[in-house]
Structure 1
């Protein structure tokens, strides 16, 4: 009988010790609004930054998802392309997960791309966004104004991504043939 009491007391003591040890929840110090110019340097091993690039134009639907993490003191970029190849807005998405690359930016090209466009976060009345950058503590949304503006931003985004995924067809602009027309009048 005394053995059973000792086992019960020991079990209760063990359970009590486990419940007292509560794990401390990680709280990131990364703040994109304050550290956009060098957020990859401010990241720690537990931080993740996600960038959604909405490249939709007219009947073309494409969303790129970039995940930036830090592991072994290296900044890693993982890009996933989601594109509706029907051009009929059926959202039958082709998904292409590109290989992870190590960012070796000594000049912070990724951050500079967004810092140069910070003015696009101010006006929330414009109907479409091009980028949504989500950090552990805040989110930045970058807007465009009309189709021409969006097209220029898509071109800039492709130029940026070509630095990290050179010669990848996902970031090549289509060749455009300009047809010469004789005697064209309005």
Structure 2
């Protein structure tokens, strides 16, 4: 794919090959000796996405949304932050973890929230939308907050109309507020 690969993500693929929560929600796209979903997913997405979205490495999907690492924001230890991409209409991304380990921790805490929903036990569909409705979970990742405040994710976050940009700024404010008031 021509991108630096996150070592934590490489270890996860090596261990699991694929990790799905449901048929439409893969934390790790199938990547093994028979199928390289990682290559297929990234080649397909790059055909339709604007240039700035060719750099993230997509590794998972939640229906129409994608999880991706950002190789150009690699840290000193080689770890890359994770973003959630909404590729429809005006494509944009939201930062969701400072690295792959924090991504899995946050998803785990999100699943705890969902499992406690009375409706989820009946409908099997979460009423709490990730990542929009869980800023307190993202606020637990202090390194992510530092990166957001430094504007590291701005090229991927703010690409649409003013109403979308305002919604994203409000969401970032909720993360920062949750960080200050745990």
Same fold (TM over 0.5): no
Answer with 1 or 2: which has the greater Rg: 1
Higher RCO by CA contacts (8 Å cutoff, separation 6 or greater): 1
TM-score (norm 1): 0.31
